[in-house]
Amino acid sequence: MFRYGAFALLLAFECVIHLSRGTEVTVKDKDDKLCLYANLSVNFSVSYMASENKSALAQFELPAEVTSNGSRCDNASSTLKLNFGAGHSWTVNFSVSGNAYRADSVTFSYNLSDATVFPKSASTDTLSVTVRPHITDVSMGTCYSCKSQETIRSDSVNQTLWNVLIQAFVSNGTQSENLTTCAADLPSTPTASPTTVAPVTNSTVAPTTAPAPTLPTPTVGNFSVKPDDNGTACLLANLGLRIGVKQGEKYQEMNLDPNVTRASGSCGVNSSELVLESNAMTVVLTFTNDTKKFRLQAVNVTAKLSSGVTFSEANGSLSLWEAAVGSSYMCNKEQNDSITGRLNIFTFNLQVQPFAVKKGLFSTAEDCQTDSESFLLVPVAVGVALLVLIVIVLVAYFIGRKRNMASGYESF
């Protein structure tokens, strides 16, 4: 089942939601029945080289006038392809998993020869970037809805999505009225009112507080990213990972199980990404470098909480795990990094190298400050002990000398 899609703008469809101005597309199958619906807004920010070897920034939005040639639908996968301008396209691939579906990838292709969008571009090539959006666990038979902004970053392109309404697998040609709402749009969980329990007659019951369950130290996983199936790893990461999330007044911690975690990602000149995905959570770590040092710049976490709520939180302006390009970053001690007010990540026995990996092996490691401080404890302790010993010897010397002088006067 596949075919072309018809475009319309600002039409009220059957999903019970009101959107601001956006791009609305319907895709129909071979029987001319609706099989995919989308109404969304996307902004692009693209860094490119202009003439005279100067860097330039192009900012533009997904226009209303698009075509959907290349879009298709079937029972297991769907593709939404929006073509616009002079050779640009924005493509989302969806797949079904059990009773839910997800967006596996977003591919944005842009034509640098389009002088209207990229004035004075030094190149006329058509380039593409592929990223992973956080559109997951959408129940079959529902529309995915997210009014909040989500910015997806890559090496030279930022894509910001908002007012998103998508149903990738429409049943019987009829769009659903039911929604799967993104975590960013969900209200905070209200604090439950305290319950008063009547006292037991003729007895005194002391209040008890149940201790919070203690998680075991997470298992260390060995992860890597390869440019292709037969290639050598371009990004290496060994770590045990735990996340701590706050939803309303409730706090929960979860360990990443490396035995059921799939690692993927990408390697670039100035930006590399590691995606760790299990049934319980998806963690996206984005690294950048300034040619001299690399650092962890962005963390994006989506997790299924014990309450059944999907949690999603991100921060794209971090400066963590810093080391020289060409070396790896190592921290054997437990680290607790605050990502946002609602998200912490804990790492154990961490070693990571997102750039300049040679022969698939870690380069010389730069130790974190915690480890360095622990290494300094021994020489500092030895130095203090020697100082104390010198003081004791000096005190004993002066006491002995004083006694000898006193005994000499008496004998004289």
Least confident piece of the model among 173-177, 374-378, 389-393: 374-378
The first and second tokens of residue 273, run together, are 């990404």
Note whether residue 377 is domain-resident.
no
Q: Which residues, 6+ apart, have CB-to-CB distance to 199 below 8 Å?
A: 205
- As beta bridge partners, residue 130 has 107
Note whether residue 379 is domain-resident.
no
The CA radius of gyration of the chain, in Å to the nearest whole number, is 30
Query: Mean of the pLDDT values across residues 25-46?
Result: 92
Note whether residue 88 is domain-resident.
yes
Expressed as residue numbers, the domain containing 356 is: 221-370
6-19 tens-digit pLDDT:
333 223 333 333 33
Cα separation, 271 vs 158, whole angstroms: 12
The torsion defined by the Cα of 287, 113, 111 and 128, in degrees rounded to 10, comes to -40
Grade residue 210 by pLDDT with cuts at 50, 70 and 90: very low
The first and second tokens of residue 57, run together, are 């920034």
Whether 246 and 330 map to the same domain: the answer is: yes
Q: Which residues, 6+ apart, have CB-to-CB distance to 408 below 8 Å?
A: none
Q: Which residue type occupies 342?
A: R
Residue 347 pLDDT greater than 90, yes or no: yes
Whether 31 and 180 map to the same domain: the answer is: yes
Whether 65 and 152 map to the same domain: the answer is: yes
Grade residue 379 by pLDDT with cuts at 50, 70 and 90: low
Grade residue 259 by pLDDT with cuts at 50, 70 and 90: very high
The first and second tokens of residue 154, run together, are 């890559």
Whether 52 and 116 map to the same domain: the answer is: yes
DSSP string, 361-376: B--PEEEPHHHHHHHH
Residue 402 pLDDT greater than 60, yes or no: yes
Whether 170 and 244 map to the same domain: the answer is: no
| Max mean pLDDT range (48-57, 76-85, 221-230) | 76-85
Q: Which residues, 6+ apart, have CB-to-CB distance to 53 below 8 Å?
A: 122
Of 353, 370, 387, the one marking the end of a domain is 370
Query: Which residue bears the tokens 């297991």?
Result: 76
Residue 202 pLDDT? 42
Pairing relationship of beta strands 328-331 and 365-367 according to DSSP bridges: parallel
Beta strands (DSSP E) in 168-198 are: 179-181
Whether 239 and 352 map to the same domain: the answer is: yes
Cα separation, 324 vs 356, whole angstroms: 10
**82 vs 247, residue with greater confidence:** 82
- For the chain, give the percent of residues with pLDDT over 70: 82
Query: Mean of the pLDDT values across residues 396-412?
Result: 65
Q: Is 74 helix (H, G, I), strand (E, B) or coil?
A: coil
Query: Mean of the pLDDT values across residues 234-248?
Result: 93
Residue 408 pLDDT? 57
Whether 18 and 143 map to the same domain: the answer is: yes
Cα separation, 355 vs 270, whole angstroms: 9
Cα separation, 168 vs 77, whole angstroms: 8
Note whether residue 209 is domain-resident.
no
CATH of the domain at 284: 2.40.160.110
Query: Mean of the pLDDT values across residues 380-401?
Result: 78
Closest CA to 63 of 36, 88, 35, 45: 88
Note whether residue 45 is domain-resident.
yes
Residue 378 pLDDT? 53
Cα separation, 336 vs 316, whole angstroms: 18
Q: How far are the Cα atoms of 5, 12, 114, 222 from residue 81, in angstroms, in the given order?
A: 9, 22, 19, 36
Grade residue 208 by pLDDT with cuts at 50, 70 and 90: very low
Contact in structure between 231 and 192 (CB atoms under 8 Å) = no
Residue 54 pLDDT greater than 90, yes or no: no
Residue 397 pLDDT? 78
Grade residue 308 by pLDDT with cuts at 50, 70 and 90: confident
**287 vs 199, residue with greater confidence:** 287
Whether 231 and 122 map to the same domain: the answer is: no
Residue 257 pLDDT greater than 60, yes or no: yes
Cα separation, 143 vs 168, whole angstroms: 8
Cα separation, 333 vs 247, whole angstroms: 27
Whether 178 and 242 map to the same domain: the answer is: no
Whether 254 and 355 map to the same domain: the answer is: yes
Q: Which residues, 6+ apart, have CB-to-CB distance to 151 below 8 Å?
A: 158, 159, 160, 161, 316
- As beta bridge partners, residue 85 has none
Of 140, 169, 185, the one marking the end of a domain is 185
Residue 188 pLDDT? 56
Residue 204 pLDDT? 40
Whether 298 and 237 map to the same domain: the answer is: yes
Note whether residue 59 is domain-resident.
yes
Task: Count how many residues are written for the chain.
Answer: 412
Number of independent structural domains in the chain: 2
Residue 227 pLDDT greater than 90, yes or no: no
The first and second tokens of residue 185, run together, are 């749009």
Note whether residue 83 is domain-resident.
yes
Note whether residue 214 is domain-resident.
no
The whole-angstrom distance between residue 200's C-alpha and the CA centroid of its chain comes to 51
Contact in structure between 99 and 142 (CB atoms under 8 Å) = no
Whether 165 and 20 map to the same domain: the answer is: yes
**218 vs 154, residue with greater confidence:** 218
Query: Mean of the pLDDT values across residues 343-372?
Result: 88
Residue 17 pLDDT? 35
End-to-end CA distance of the chain: 120
pTM of the model: 0.47
87-125 tens-digit pLDDT:
999 999 999 988 999 999 999 999 999 999 999 999 999
Return the exposure string of 342-381: e unless at least 16 CB atoms fall within 10 Å of the residue's CB, then b: bbbbbbbbbbbbbbebeeeebbebbbbeeeeeeeeeeeee
